Amino acid sequence: MAKHVLIVGGGLAGTIVANGLCRQLGNELRSGQLSITVLSATDTHMYQPGLLYVPFGRIREAELFRDERKVLDRRIAFFVDPVTRIDVDANKVTTESGKSYGYDYLVIATGSRIMPQEVPGLAEGAHWFYDLEGARKMRETLGTFAGGKVIVNSNVPHKCPVAPLEITFMLYDFLRERDLLKKSEITYTYPIGRLHALEPVANWAKPEMERLGIKYETFFNTKEVDAKGKTISSEEGVTLPYDLLVTIPPHKGAQVIMDSKLGEGGWVPTNPKTLHREGSNNVFVVGDTTNIPISKAGSTAHFEADTIVDNLVSLLQEDRMAREYDGKVYCFVETGTKTGTYVWFNYTTPPNPGPPSQMIHWFKLAYNRLYWLSARGLL
């Protein structure tokens, strides 16, 4: 009997799974034994890490986008029809247009979204670069910024854990290149007691910030922002004045996950190795959507998606799982506008970042284009 794999979400994770299955299951697709459907809320695929460069005018907006239909293998049925309900008991999802889709295997790849409105005053008082509209506004503001107190502020949870450091060092270089450093002061705030979640990265960042004169405030969980008075206050009792506030907003998972009662905050309880939804053996969860205590990042989505592809292929062909996800995460870290480094780790290997270099920065710039090969399942 023909099998149907349904993928909810057309971001990086869902796209890699869909394309990866096509590459390995050509015979099954050709014979009609298998069909693959992707449901997405949008017809456009965005390269999200590219948003980091938008505030500085270092990337053209058009470079961030591709038509998702063209990124997906043509053998995949693709519909722009947001899913409004996922019923894992009935093996069925329903969409905004009122259609229902059954499945033999479901892959939930609904991702995460920024929620600046969850902190009083944050949406009114802060800039961010986690969506195109916010990144454009930040670019406009930076274009006329004449110097002052700059705060880079991080909220929990957030995706792309290295972004707070990247934007800080890039802002430093931006101000230096515009000869605004003497008129400016950068303060970096972070929710825990060191400068980054990854201890080796924090150990690198601390002397680097001290060398550059970047101030920092640890144990800073945002309580509220006074957009008129231009101050930001923490749950820990610290209030800082600012002229320019750049925030990494708190995130939540997709509304459909919450509406379907699949996980608090929109995060689906997921087995960290098999990537099964807890309680289901025909539902996989991938990317930001999981509740696995691991970085929400494109590379996490990529490596998880590769695991799910291998397992779905084995399940469909031989009725067995092929392998477990080992927790691998790989992140480039831009350490300014001209240098970069990288860090990788998994469930058992701690991170050990190398010294920043121009070469790694160039490779990151190259990856900004190579990304589309990842999405197609080629890299």
Partner 1 sequence: MMAERRKIDARGAFCPGPLMEMIATLKLSQVGDEIEVWSSDKGSSKDIPEWVAKVGHELVSNEERDGYWSIVVKKLK
Q: How many CA atoms lie within 13 A of 347 on its CB side?
A: 10
Q: CB 233 → partner 1: shortest distance, Å?
A: 13
Under rule CB under 8 A, residue 198 binds partner 1: yes
Under rule CB under 8 A, residue 10 binds partner 1: no
Region binding partner 1 by CB under 8 A among candidate stretches 45-53, 84-92, 134-142, 292-300: 292-300
Query: Alpha-carbon distance 346 to 170, whole Å?
Result: 27
Under rule CB under 8 A, residue 247 binds partner 1: no
Q: CB 193 → partner 1: shortest distance, Å?
A: 5
Q: Which is nearer to partner 1, 168 or 295 (CB)?
A: 295
Under rule CB under 8 A, residue 350 binds partner 1: yes
The two counts, helices (H) then strands (E), for the chain are 10, 21
Under rule CB under 8 A, residue 351 binds partner 1: yes
In a 10 Å sphere around its CB, with 0-12 CB exposed, 13-18 middle and 19+ buried, how is residue 57 labelled?
exposed
Under rule CB under 8 A, residue 111 binds partner 1: no
Q: Among 354, 362, 305, 355, which Cα is nearest to 328's?
A: 305
Under rule CB under 8 A, residue 50 binds partner 1: no
The rounded Cα 300 to chain-centroid distance in angstroms is 9
Positions 131 through 170 that interact with partner 1 (CB under 8 A) = 156-157, 161
Site string for partner 1, 76-105 (x = CB under 8 A): ------------------------------
Q: CB 302 → partner 1: shortest distance, Å?
A: 16
Under rule CB under 8 A, residue 370 binds partner 1: no
Query: Alpha-carbon distance 171 to 179, whole Å?
Result: 12
Choose, by CB under 8 A, the member of 74, 89, 146, 193 that binds partner 1.
193
Q: Which is nearer to partner 1, 147 or 157 (CB)?
A: 157
Choose, by CB under 8 A, the member of 49, 111, 121, 191 that binds partner 1.
191
Under rule CB under 8 A, residue 329 binds partner 1: yes
Query: Alpha-carbon distance 283 to 308, whole Å?
Result: 10
Backbone angles phi, psi at 350, to 5 degrees: -70, 160
**Sequence-ordered list of residues with C-beta below 8 angstroms from that of 266, at least 6 positions apart, any chain:** 110, 112, 113, 252, 253, 254, 255, 257, 258, 289
Q: What's the chain's length in residues? A: 379
Number of residues that bind partner 1 (CB under 8 A): 27
Under rule CB under 8 A, residue 212 binds partner 1: no
* Identity at 45, one-letter amino acid code: H
Under rule CB under 8 A, residue 121 binds partner 1: no
Classify 8 as helix, strand or coil. strand
Region binding partner 1 by CB under 8 A among candidate stretches 53-61, 189-197, 224-232, 367-375: 189-197
Under rule CB under 8 A, residue 9 binds partner 1: no
Q: Quote the tokens at residue 107.
A: 């892959």
Q: CA 34, 39, 43 angle in degrees (round to 5)? A: 125
Under rule CB under 8 A, residue 355 binds partner 1: no
Under rule CB under 8 A, residue 199 binds partner 1: yes
Q: Quote the tokens at residue 46.
A: 């965005």
Kind of pairing, strands 215-217 and 231-234?
Answer: unpaired
* Identity at 76, one-letter amino acid code: I
Distances (CA, A) of 360 to 33, 87, 142, 165: 44, 44, 26, 16
Under rule CB under 8 A, residue 330 binds partner 1: no
Q: CB 119 → partner 1: shortest distance, Å?
A: 10
Q: Which is nearer to partner 1, 215 or 223 (CB)?
A: 223
Q: Which is nearer to partner 1, 69 or 113 (CB)?
A: 113
Residues that bind partner 1 (CB under 8 A): 156-157, 161, 191-193, 197-199, 219, 221, 235-237, 250, 264-265, 293-295, 327, 329, 345, 347-348, 350-351
